[in-house]
Amino acid sequence: MIIVTGGAGFIGSNLVKGLNQMGEEKILIVDHLSNASKHLNLNRLRYSDYLDKELVYGNGTKGFSEIPESEYPLNVYGFSKFSFDNYVRRFLPEAQSQILGLRYFNVYGPQETHKGRMASVAFHLFHQLRKGGSMNLFEGSEGFRRDFIHVQDTIRINLHFLESGKSGIFNAGTGKARSFTAIGECLREIEGSGELKSIPFPDDLRGKYQEFTEADTTRLREAGYEEEFLSLEEGIRLYHKMLSENGGFHL
């Protein structure tokens, strides 16, 4: 039996889908459906049972490697991940069972509808474009660059480590930073139309906004992960198709 915590969520439900594609159905999903829309993520998954259950590097000035020198979380969410990783590091050298920590960068793709305001930039720009024919980006977005990774690639990383049994803390990113503007341009090209509008940068985010992330994938590659990542253009095209045809859900 495989237990997937957060299995009704964005990455969790995609992980269950990936396990299903490997032929694994003896899965216990643990999550909490206070956000009732999350049940839609479970509709096309195969699992044995569901159990209800009642939340990173900082500004990147010292890089994005999986080492303490690069780590300086800017918010409580990042700090919670940072604290857990530090706890795990104490046990990794002597651990008899596999212990794996994956640091997800900017993940986008199917099954994130329930996240609402916290869904990916790609999700929001798609819906803005479909609703009003334009997409809103903060002023300066051409200079805001993040490591955007399609959820399909994060699942491949998860399954690689499930099969290899290796332990450690690894980045789950592509190693290539792209701008927010590039996402809008991808969507505009797919749709054949659409205006990119610049909106004022919120005052309450000044000094708190992470303008650049780019995963150091050295340790991930050293751990034997050899798959090529989807380019931003490939990933946005796949996501656009699913949003258009299935509302962003697996069918």
- Active centre residues (catalytic): 77, 115
Alpha-helical segments (H) within 39-179: 76-89, 121-132, 151-164
Helix, strand, coil distribution of the chain in percent, nearest 5:
45, 20, 40
Rounded Cα distance, 188 and 245, in Å: 17
Task: Please choose, from the candidates 165, 64, 168, the residue with its C-alpha nearest in 3D space to the C-alpha of residue 106.
Answer: 64
Q: Which residues neighbour 119 within 8 Å (Cβ) at sequence distance 6 or greater?
A: 112, 113
Rounded Cα distance, 141 and 180, in Å: 6
Rounded Cα distance, 124 and 130, in Å: 10
Beta strand 178-179 with 145-146 is antiparallel
Burial class (CB in 10 A: 0-12, 13-18, 19+), 188: middle
Task: Please choose, from the candidates 57, 213, 211, the residue with its C-alpha nearest in 3D space to the C-alpha of residue 139.
Answer: 211
